[in-house]
Structure 1
Amino acid sequence: MGDHQLRVMRVLACESRMQILQLLQERQRALPVDEVAAAVGLHVNTTREHLDRLVASGFVERSTEHRTTRGRPRMLYRSIDSAAVAAIDSKARAHLVSLLLEGYGQPMESPVTAAEMAGVAWAAELGCPGSEASGDPERDYAAQVDALVRHLEELGFEPERLDDDEVLALHHCPFADISSDRRGVICGAHLGLVRGILERHQGPLKVEALAPRGEGTACTLRLRREEAVAEAGSELVDA
């Protein structure tokens, strides 16, 4: 891994910086530091330090406010979308590669099985403590879906909720340029990632299937309540 890629990984390894970057992407306009700080719940000075790191790494651009009244102009911050997407893809790619390499040479049934196991391990390293079941199935169901969507958004998959939250469309794949050649392995890792996230956030939801994208379409992730998949298990579906 080169020096630039290492710096990218370090910047994006911080959950607070990821929250700031996601905020700037969602707002789609330049924001002053105090507004960013209020939105993410951090002190202004801490927020400014995070923004400076994001600017230095090429994820955010800084400009001076144009004022028509007297007073000192504020510094404004705006996300650079193309850099952010490329960096998140790089982070996801590097993380998965490192996990696959850890299992290299160990006896496995198949490369897809190894990839699914790597995906489960990936979920365990997302920096989220997870949550135990509350005893209320509907509450746990909603919490699982929210956690899954949040993690997939942070990893750059651009999830969209469909069909009462039991079907998610994944509009972006960090591995799109290589998945045509190694689709089974890549999709297996993503299936394991989703399974691992749902296991860490306990509730009734399990993975039913992941259908890879066709040309110009999104991948489709199907979820089901536990009793509905107890016998069937989860699977990859050929496009």
Structure 2
Amino acid sequence: MSDSWPRRRLLAILRGTNEPLDAQELARITGQHVTTVRFHLDVLTRESLVRQFQQPPRGRGRPRIGYSAVQRSVGYQDVAQVLADQLGPDPRRRSEAAIAAGRAWGTRLAASDHRVESLEDAKEVTMTLMSELGFAPERDPASWDEDRALIRLTACPLRELARTHSEVVCGVHRGLIEGLFDRPGARGAIEVGMHPFVEPELCVARLEMAAPRCDSIQETVTVPVAGVAEMLTAPSARVAPQLRNADPHLAKQSAQQW
């Protein structure tokens, strides 16, 4: 549009009206000659800043050409793209930052009066929220048992961005679900996994009961010291929870595990 005050003024007028205006109406508003107005409107049209519409004639004559400003908006996809690009080059750090952000988001979204104390609670809360956010979740009853559940996410709102920034997008979504359970009575009880693109248009969320943790298993040993047996304790290593074998429904899942 260059540095043209007349064109900026025409564009501002068109953005402030709900209906298309023709060149004569704009000439009357601006005080410019109608030929000059048409020249500026042609430039704005070529730059895709305004759009032309055919309008009925006033009385007899040819149809009029009306003009309306092209409204531009910034959507969720655009904002997510900008943020994803600013998380740095290290995929691991990008993933960690995304999970932390998603967890904070999920904590804010969680209903304070709904405690998550079992896998059944976790399934219901996850299905409800992901449905509200547009993921079109589907239950996979064949994979559900008392220890684990798989939820099929068939409509990710950021699917195209996830194809190029999966560590960010899927990390946020994993953290989002984790945040739902990050409350008294549930912290550490449910483990969340996100399996992106197990099929071209399908991702899968995994909810699993965490294995019991033993933070301080002690062993009693007898050691002779100067003829006297003293009892010593030696702390053993922390026992890490083990994930179950891969479910057959995820035979095609991504090798990347979240």
Q: Could you state the TM-score of these two structures normalised by the residue count of structure 2?
A: 0.44
Give 1 or 2: higher helix fraction: 1
> Which of the pair has more CA radius of gyration?
2
Give 1 or 2: higher strand fraction: 2
Q: Could you state the TM-score of these two structures normalised by the residue count of structure 1?
A: 0.47
